[in-house]
């Protein structure tokens, strides 16, 4: 059955054609269709009729929406269609925010496509006939697996395109054309808004099979220092080869990131999880020292916390994300360390209780372990070897979760027992929480709490 958005697109195109215009699918929708990928974001560009005529047509088809009046972007309520007219834009300042935009319904398809960033995004498809317009060799570049800019003169006007180049290459497994890399290397990224940088980063982290490509390309462009200096600082930071045959901390971080991408579907917070993988060893840049010829990075998980916080603050103000990443960074070594030392149940319960997301913490520990793979080491064999550790950690997590599901003592229970709320409640509940972690039932927690509170009450009377 044909999607309602496609039916509406055809209805629009027929109405536009009746007035002498043409309608084209453009951008990512055409690209992804040719790649056999699903894309529910449908962009349509309408040529050859005045703006007023397009507005009248949309009003006849439904409730017209104006989603970007200054850019000539419209839509229809209840339909996932972005409908625009051809436009040209000229940079008037620094960053991805200062552009003069001109809507020109009679610009023509080729000139309209020229303003696009990459050849694969400059493809156009006639809504009614299915004819593909490919003015810049986009299909051939896609066939050869190359990401290439459309126009050398206009490409550099928008510095966000350097990040988009890295993001698209990572996401679609493409090689960046050398001239495109050279143009990207010359861009000044300083004036970009943090949220736009975060947007490109999130796409790479959520959609790329190997998100490390995003950072490797930025490194090749010389574009890490402005937005990712904490990651750049990991380059050439040596590690003990006995534990890290993969090489420096940069290589370990990139491998851990790619391993984390393989696990992200299992996590509660996929983007946050991948950011934790990025940040987990930032502290090694300041903690790594050599003692008697042996490299160590003592306390790097704590020393990395201010670095991770600075890294995240540059990109986002989302406090929950920052709390998650800092917590995961601080605890990332503990699961494998406890498993390797045959630790007791109490240590595991304490670790899980400190974690904001225990299940994700175990997945990060696995990605960290797999990120230590040497160039000659078989990944599948390494994964199989980790299975006993994974299983024992999961057993401990299951025990912790079971204990957390059991009834436990709360403040209202103490009030019902006749005690007035006060500062002592918090201290008592912290103590009874230890009994909960130990698997002691609620009645024992209550008995212990009542003994403490009664003693304090008696001492006050005395």
What is residue 384's predicted lDDT score, i.e. its pLDDT?
97
What is residue 100's predicted lDDT score, i.e. its pLDDT?
64
pLDDT for residue 212 is more than 70 = yes
445 within domain boundaries? yes
144 within domain boundaries? no
What is residue 33's predicted lDDT score, i.e. its pLDDT?
92
d(CA 317, CA 337): 32
**pLDDT band at residue 309 under the 50/70/90 scheme:** very high
> 236 and 206 in one domain?
no
pLDDT for residue 59 is more than 90 = yes
41 within domain boundaries? yes
**H or E stretch covering 262:** helix 249-263
Query: By percentage, how much of the chain surpasses pLDDT 70?
Result: 95
**3-state SS of 131-197?**
CEECCCCHHHHHHHCEECECCHHHHCCCCHHHHHHHHHHHHHCCEECHHHHHHHHCCCCCCCCHHHH
Q: What's the rounded mean pLDDT across residues 72-86?
A: 92
> 207 and 242 in one domain?
no
47 within domain boundaries? yes
d(CA 401, CA 409): 17
Q: What is the pLDDT of residues 317-341, one digit of tens each?
A: 999 999 999 999 999 999 999 999 9
**Is residue 95 within 8 Å of 76, Cβ to Cβ?**
no
200, 223, 246: which is the final residue of a domain? 223
The better pLDDT of the pair 98, 387 is held by 387
CATH number for the domain including 13? Answer: 3.30.460.10
> 401 and 416 in one domain?
no
178, 197, 223: which is the final residue of a domain? 223
Q: What is the pLDDT of residues 216-273, one digit of tens each?
A: 999 999 999 999 999 999 999 999 999 999 999 999 999 999 999 999 999 999 999 9
223, 247, 262: which is the final residue of a domain? 223
Q: Of 2-6, 346-350, 371-375, which gets the smallest average pLDDT?
A: 2-6
142 within domain boundaries? no
111 within domain boundaries? yes
What CA–CA distances, in Å, run from 125 to 14, 109, 138, 194, 396?
15, 11, 13, 34, 55
Number of domains in the chain: 4
CATH number for the domain including 264? Answer: 1.10.3210
d(CA 13, CA 26): 13
> 170 and 120 in one domain?
no
> 383 and 241 in one domain?
yes
Bridge partners (DSSP) listed for residue 86: none
pLDDT for residue 69 is more than 90 = no
Bridge partners (DSSP) listed for residue 76: 64
What is residue 91's predicted lDDT score, i.e. its pLDDT?
57
30 within domain boundaries? yes
pLDDT for residue 304 is more than 80 = yes
> 55 and 43 in one domain?
yes
> Which has the closest alpha carbon to 47: 124, 117, 100, 154?
124
> 435 and 313 in one domain?
no
> 354 and 262 in one domain?
yes
> 60 and 14 in one domain?
yes
> 440 and 375 in one domain?
no
d(CA 98, CA 9): 32
**pLDDT band at residue 92 under the 50/70/90 scheme:** low
The mean pLDDT value of the chain amounts to 94
What is residue 117's predicted lDDT score, i.e. its pLDDT?
96
| Domain span including residue 444 | 408-461
Q: What's the rounded mean pLDDT across residues 159-163?
A: 97
**Is residue 361 within 8 Å of 355, Cβ to Cβ?**
yes
**Is residue 276 within 8 Å of 366, Cβ to Cβ?**
no
pLDDT for residue 456 is more than 80 = no
> 86 and 11 in one domain?
yes
Bridge partners (DSSP) listed for residue 103: 87
Cα 241 off chain centre by: 30
**Is residue 281 within 8 Å of 307, Cβ to Cβ?**
no
Q: Hunting for tokens 């982290």 — which residue is that?
A: 205
d(CA 275, CA 278): 5
**H or E stretch covering 25:** strand 22-26
Q: What's the rounded mean pLDDT across residues 206-219?
A: 98
Query: By percentage, how much of the chain surpasses pLDDT 90?
Result: 86
**pLDDT band at residue 85 under the 50/70/90 scheme:** very high
> 267 and 379 in one domain?
yes
């Amino acid at each position: 059955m044909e999607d309602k958005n496609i039916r509406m697109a055809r209805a629009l195109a027929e109405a536009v054609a009746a007035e002498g215009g043409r309608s084209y699918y453009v951008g990512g929708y055409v690209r992804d269709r040719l790649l056999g990928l699903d894309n529910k974001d449908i962009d349509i560009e309408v040529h050859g009729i005045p703006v007023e005529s397009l507005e009248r047509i949309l009003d006849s088809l439904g409730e017209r929406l104006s989603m970007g009046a200054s850019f000539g972007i419209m839509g229809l309520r209840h339909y996932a269609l972005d409908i625009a007219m051809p436009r040209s834009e000229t940079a008037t300042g620094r960053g991805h925010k200062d552009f003069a935009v001109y809507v020109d319904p009679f610009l023509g398809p080729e000139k309209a496509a020229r303003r696009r960033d990459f050849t694969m995004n400059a493809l156009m498809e006639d809504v009614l006939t299915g004819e593909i317009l490919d003015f810049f060799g986009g299909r051939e570049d896609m066939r050869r697996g190359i990401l290439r800019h459309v126009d050398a003169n206009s490409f550099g006007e928008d510095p966000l395109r350097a990040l988009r180049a890295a993001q698209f290459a990572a996401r679609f497994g493409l090689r960046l054309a050398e001239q495109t890399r050279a143009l990207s290397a010359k861009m000044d990224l300083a004036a970009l808004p943090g949220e736009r940088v975060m947007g490109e980063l999130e796409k790479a982290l959520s959609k790329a099979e190997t998100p490390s490509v995003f950072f490797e390309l930025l490194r090749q462009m010389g574009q890490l220092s402005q937005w990712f200096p904490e990651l750049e600082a990991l380059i050439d930071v040596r590690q003990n080869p006995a534990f890290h045959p993969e090489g420096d901390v940069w290589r370990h971080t990139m491998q851990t990131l790619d391993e984390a991408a393989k696990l992200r579907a299992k996590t509660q917070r996929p983007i946050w999880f991948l950011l934790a993988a990025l940040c987990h060893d930032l502290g090694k840049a300041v903690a790594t020292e050599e003692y008697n010829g042996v490299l160590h990075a003592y306390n790097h998980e704590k020393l990395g916390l201010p670095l991770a916080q600075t890294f995240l603050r540059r990109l986002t103000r989302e406090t929950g994300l920052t709390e998650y990443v800092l917590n995961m960074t601080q605890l990332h070594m503990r699961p494998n360390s406890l498993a390797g030392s045959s630790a007791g149940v109490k240590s595991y319960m304490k670790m899980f209780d400190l974690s904001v997301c225990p299940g994700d913490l175990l997945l990060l520990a696995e990605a960290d372990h797999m990120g230590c793979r040497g160039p000659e080491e078989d990944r599948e064999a390494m994964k199989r070897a980790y299975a006993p550790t994974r299983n024992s950690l999961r057993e401990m997590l299951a025990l912790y979760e079971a204990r957390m599901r059991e009834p436990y003592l709360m403040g209202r229970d103490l009030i019902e027992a006749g005690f007035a709320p006060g500062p002592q409640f918090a201290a008592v509940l912290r103590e009874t929480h230890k009994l909960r972690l130990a698997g002691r039932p609620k009645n024992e927690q209550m008995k212990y709490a009542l003994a403490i509170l009664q003693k304090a009450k008696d001492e006050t009377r005395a």
